[in-house]
């Protein structure tokens, strides 16, 4: 099954055969849990659906004595799960795919999901992709296309972009003309794996969460202009760790996120220009960060109460989200216990 391109119906059917009873449902769970795990400027986002099924988006860096895999396992333990039903790799840069070999040594994984073969002409990316291929040998593996979904009970997972392609029809409720496109500068072509990122919108009732991996500006604008194909979201994982190679104003402002989280490291991401675009997004209630951005300034960092890690040498604290189907959601800073609930609208 590895590497095959399947239609959505066949994809769902095969997964139901490959993974009978894959999840361990927790009947008492009625919320969607999201853990933004600190992997020092990479990505590792763990979602546990109300049914108890799990999805990990990216696995952080390799090395560091298994630091990132250990942090993922700690979050899984906190969430009460013993296996990962799906691991979705957005693209093959080291800070997203590098932790997979160490992850599979410490935790059972059901199905790996990605955009297909590496498309970047880079020695380090080819090396990391080869390590990933070795690590997932023997696991179920599915290559997704825009417009597909993942069969996770209790939530909807919509694939928006993959391998440089993207959805061409608007999501339900989306498709309006985007007033911010006219002033947006043209964006350069990006030949790296960033532009091939798998982007997903995750929906639980009225709650909507967006993660576009490291999608860069030209690809962002293709789904935002002249019409916004995505609509609005409640929670936005700021694209590309808050780098200014991504985060076009035309996309970020059209999303009207209520809350945004930057999965930056102490010296990676949260660039002042991108930070300001997100911060100024119409309707934004709060911005949270995984790290204080050491190479920025105080004016382009949020207050300490909404930063999970304020020191460069840190314990890797997470930001946790609990979302309800009516659109209410709560963020908690694991470092301080600071908690804020955003009521349904």
For the stretch 308-333, pLDDT in tens is 999 999 999 999 999 999 999 999 99
Residues of the chain with pLDDT > 90, as a percent, come to 90
pLDDT tens-place string over residues 4-55: 334 344 444 444 333 333 333 333 458 999 999 999 999 999 999 999 999 9
> In this structure, what token pair is assigned to residue 261?
């989280």
**∠ Cα 48 308 98 (to 5°):** 60
Range from 10-19, 137-146, 186-195, 220-229 carrying the lowest mean pLDDT: 10-19
72: enclosing H helix or E strand: helix 67-79
> 270: cis peptide before it, omega within 30°?
no
- Residues across the chain: 345
Average pLDDT over residues 220-244: 98
Query: Is the alpha carbon torsion for 238, 239, 245, 247 positive or negative?
Result: negative
Q: Are 258 and 235 in contact (CB under 8 A)?
A: yes
Which strands form 329-333's sheet, in the order they lie side by side? 140-143, 108-114, 83-88, 54-57, 45-48, 32-36, 319-323, 329-333, 339-342
345: confidence class by pLDDT, cuts 50, 70, 90 = confident
Question: What are the domain boundaries of the chain?
Answer: 29-327
> In this structure, what token pair is assigned to residue 315?
């314990």
pLDDT tens-place string over residues 45-95: 999 999 999 999 999 999 999 999 999 999 999 999 999 999 999 999 999
Output DSSP code: residue 5: B
Q: Are 306 and 289 in contact (CB under 8 A)?
A: yes
- What is the C-alpha to C-alpha distance for residues 206 and 27, in angstroms, rounded to an integer? 21
User: What pLDDT, on the 0 to 100 scale, is given for residue 7?
Assistant: 39
- What is the C-alpha to C-alpha distance for residues 61 and 46, in angstroms, rounded to an integer? 15
> In this structure, what token pair is assigned to residue 270?
């949260």
User: What pLDDT, on the 0 to 100 scale, is given for residue 320?
Assistant: 98
> In this structure, what token pair is assigned to residue 249?
């104003």
Q: Are 320 and 76 in contact (CB under 8 A)?
A: no
- The owner of tokens 């972009």 is 161
For domain 29-327, the CATH class is alpha beta
């Amino acid at each position: 099954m590895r590497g095959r391109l399947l239609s959505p119906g066949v994809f769902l059917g095969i997964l139901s055969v490959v993974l009978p009873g894959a999840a361990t449902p927790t009947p008492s769970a009625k919320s969607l849990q999201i853990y933004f795990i600190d992997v020092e400027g990479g990505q590792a986002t763990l979602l546990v659906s109300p049914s108890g099924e799990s999805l990990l988006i990216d696995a952080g860096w390799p090395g560091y004595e298994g630091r990132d895999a250990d942090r993922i396992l700690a979050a899984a333990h906190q969430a009460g799960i013993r296996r990962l039903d799906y691991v979705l790799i957005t693209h093959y840069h080291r800070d997203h795919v590098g932790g997979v070999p160490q992850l599979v040594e410490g935790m059972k994984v059901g199905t790996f999901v990605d955009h297909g073969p590496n498309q970047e002409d880079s020695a380090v990316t080819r090396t990391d992709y080869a390590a990933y291929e070795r690590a997932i040998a023997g696991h179920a593996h599915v290559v997704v296309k825009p417009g597909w979904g993942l069969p996770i009970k209790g939530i909807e997972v919509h694939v928006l972009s993959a391998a440089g392609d993207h959805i061409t029809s608007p999501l339900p409720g989306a498709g309006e003309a985007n007033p911010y496109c006219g002033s947006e500068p043209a964006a350069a072509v990006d030949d790296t794996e960033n532009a091939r990122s798998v982007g997903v919108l995750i929906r639980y009732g009225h709650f909507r969460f967006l993660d576009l991996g490291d999608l860069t500006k030209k690809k962002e604008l293709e789904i935002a202009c002249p019409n916004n194909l995505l609509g609005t979201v409640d929670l936005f994982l700021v694209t590309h760790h808050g780098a200014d190679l991504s985060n076009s104003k035309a996309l970020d402002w059209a999303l009207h996120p209520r809350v945004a989280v930057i999965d930056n490291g102490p010296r990676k991401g949260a660039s002042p220009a991108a930070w300001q675009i997100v911060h100024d997004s119409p309707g934004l209630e709060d911005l949270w960060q995984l790290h204080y951005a050491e190479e920025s300034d105080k004016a382009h960092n949020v207050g300490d109460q909404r930063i999970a890690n304020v020191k460069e040498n840190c314990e890797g604290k997470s930001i946790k989200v609990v979302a309800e189907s009516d659109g209410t959601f709560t963020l908690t800073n694991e470092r301080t216990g600071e908690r804020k609930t955003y009521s349904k609208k």
